[in-house]
A and B are shown apart, each in its own frame.
Chain A
Amino acid sequence: QKEVEQNSGPLSVPEGAIASLNCTYSDRGSQSFFWYRQYSGKSPELIMSIYSNGDKEDGRFTAQLNKASQYVSLLIRDSQPSDSATYLCAVTYNFNKFYFGSGTKLNVKP
């Protein structure tokens, strides 16, 4: 069983702050790592992907991967109320079969 673990939250941060979301995974064979954002009643949408150790930045979002620690994180800088959503961590094995964590609910307070 491939396990992807996330803190369910909710994580509450004030507007303008940095939100830090964390994810751990059980299988060292994991190859690709993703963060999806899901608004209530909507389907998940991809916001970040990361494939090698280190940081990857895209606008206000930074994904961090540490394969030795089996840990991937997402930082959201200058958080906005529109960032309030559930964030899903996903990992893949053998370049298919995406496995998801249960998600972390983020609330950004104005």
Chain B
Amino acid sequence: NAGVTQTPKFQVLKTGQSMTLQCAQDMNHNSMYWYRQDPGMGLRLIYYSASEGTTDKGEVPNGYNVSRLNKREFSLRLESAAPSQTSVYFCASSEPGHNEKLFFGSGTQLSVL
């Protein structure tokens, strides 16, 4: 059981380049999330998807777009990368409900030069 799988694990971009971070979960969860983690800032929500076909902005959505391709997959796209987007990105999933818990992927270390 793989849980939440993210690719790639590491990426270096030049300013202005674009890329897509991929995420897939095999736990049949309805909700999926993208977070970024910067030193001293904790985890900040970029976008989330409560269910297939829906997406909504989180705390820091500017410069990002997302696609909930199907129930399993939720991708994050940087159209024109900026140095301020250098961070560690985590995908996560959960099943909404009273005992909801969040499960994380292993993360993507992104550097924008």
Contact = CB atoms under 8 A, between A and B. Distances in A.
| 10 closest A-B pairs by CB | A102-B42, A100-B43, A43-B104, A100-B42, A95-B96, A98-B102, A43-B107, A96-B31, A96-B96, A44-B104
A44 B42 CA distance: 11
B38 to A, nearest CB: 10
Nearest to B102: A98
A100 to B, nearest CB: 4
A25 to B, nearest CB: 13
By size class, the interface of chain B is 20 to 34
Interface of A is mostly: strand
A98 B33 contact: yes
Contact of B100 (A88, A96, A99, A103): A96
Nearest to A94: B96
A32 B104 CA distance: 17
Contact of A8 (B33, B40, B105): B40
Given A34-B102, A88-B43, A102-B42, A97 B90 contact: no
Contacts of A45: 104
B70 to A, nearest CB: 19
